[in-house]
Amino acid sequence: MPELTATLIINITDSRCGNCGEATLLRDSQGEPITHHADVSGYSPERGGGCGARFVDTRSEYGAITPDVLRRARPDLPVRTSR
């Protein structure tokens, strides 16, 4: 079975998984980049509630968030330039 992958969508006030649309954090509590969507973050966090997809790239829905901003937020992931 192929691995589930997703785009990490980084917006002005939130970030979410491009596969399931649920909220996720950019980094864990130790400051390490989150590689898979394991937990749902936000107002009602849910540990283990993520879809499990591995993040393979980033994008944003806001024009103010440029590719340079995305690279600074997650230098370990390439920036997706098209939807």
**Per-residue pLDDT reduced to its tens digit, 13-68:** 999 999 999 999 999 889 999 999 999 998 888 899 999 999 999 999 998 999 99
pTM of the model: 0.91
**What is residue 43's predicted lDDT score, i.e. its pLDDT?**
83
Q: How confident is the model at residue 83 (pLDDT cuts 50, 70, 90)?
A: low
Cα Rg, the chain, nearest whole Å: 12
Helix (H) or strand (E) holding 5: strand 5-10
**What is residue 2's predicted lDDT score, i.e. its pLDDT?**
84
**What is residue 74's predicted lDDT score, i.e. its pLDDT?**
95
Q: Residue 5 belongs to what domain range?
A: 1-83
If one counts the domains in the chain, the total is 1
User: Rounded to whole angstroms, what are the CA distances from 2 to 5, 16, 44, 53, 58?
Assistant: 9, 22, 30, 11, 20
**What is residue 82's predicted lDDT score, i.e. its pLDDT?**
64
Question: What residues have CB less than 8 Å from 46, skipping those under 6 apart?
Answer: 39, 40
| Paired sense of beta strands 5-10 and 15-17, if any | antiparallel
